[in-house]
């Protein structure tokens, strides 16, 4: 009999489609968990504290905080009001922001991507640039929405990996070329987080939780895109899956 696969939860986006709210997660994240992490994805509805977060952490072996078209509401990091037309998801904020520190404290492996990267920084007390391309000295990190997906998610710029970091260990090199599809970015890095990678303009592109008991890493780019075909992404998700499997095995013993 093959070993039982770990279960990785993905807090959903809450969207109103027609007249009804739905809880959604992008398929590219689900397939990365299935194929590159060798785990079972489980979509978690974003209904905040009603989930009983401590109980939830006893039912999953890991958590993936995904990217999203929505942004964290700036009131959570003492930011200025958002520009008109900015998409927010208060139900997701109410779920992920309290869940992240609880998961780290409980030793649950977690991986944050794009919005999830920003959520992790905010959850631990950091702040965000809301329109990074308007900040002097920074590049425009956004994708071109009129391009095909293959180009939007194509190589955009290098990141330099910090010496002694987990990403440098996984990559086996000191730099990677990554995609770039974000308008926001880390302004102040939260206490207890350590930089793992930076873009050429100095923007933080990855960090880890310094004193986490298990895997706790976040990236601003999108490693889930065609993860199995990218050697670094495959190594990243494999390491995340291994950490989730270790937690699952420990819980079963």
CA–CA separation, 186 and 44 (whole Å):
26
Catalytic residues: 114, 222, 224
Question: Structure tokens of 68?
Answer: 């999203």
CA–CA separation, 92 and 72 (whole Å):
9
CA–CA separation, 178 and 113 (whole Å):
13
CA–CA separation, 232 and 166 (whole Å):
12
Buried b (16+ CB within 10 A) or exposed e, 126-152: bbbbbebeeeeebbebbbeeeeeeeeb
């Amino acid at each position: 009999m093959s070993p039982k696969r770990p279960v990785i939860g993905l807090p959903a986006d809450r969207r109103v489609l027609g007249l009804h709210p739905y809880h959604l997660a992008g398929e590219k994240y689900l397939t990365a968990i299935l194929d590159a992490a060798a785990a079972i994805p489980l979509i978690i509805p974003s209904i905040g504290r009603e989930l009983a977060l401590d109980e939830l952490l006893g039912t999953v072996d890991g958590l993936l905080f995904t990217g999203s078209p929505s942004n964290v509401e700036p009131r959570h990091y003492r930011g200025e009001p958002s520009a008109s037309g900015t998409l927010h998801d208060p139900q997701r904020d109410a779920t992920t922001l309290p869940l992240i520190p609880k998961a780290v404290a409980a030793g649950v492996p977690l991986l944050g991507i794009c919005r999830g990267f920003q959520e992790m920084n905010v959850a631990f007390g950091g702040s965000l640039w809301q329109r990074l391309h308007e900040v002097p000295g920074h590049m425009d990190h956004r994708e071109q929405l009129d391009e095909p997906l293959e180009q939007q998610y194509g190589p955009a710029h290098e990141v330099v990996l910090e010496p002694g970091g987990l990403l440098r260990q996984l990559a086996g090199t000191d730099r990677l070329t990554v995609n770039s599809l974000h308008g926001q970015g880390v302004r102040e890095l939260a206490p207890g987080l350590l930089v793992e990678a930076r873009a050429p303009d100095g923007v933080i592109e990855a960090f880890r939780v310094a004193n986490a008991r298990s895997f706790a890493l976040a990236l601003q780019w999108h490693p889930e895109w065609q993860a199995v075909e990218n050697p670094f992404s495959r190594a990243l998700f494999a390491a995340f899956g291994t950490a989730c499997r270790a937690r699952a095995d420990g819980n079963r013993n």
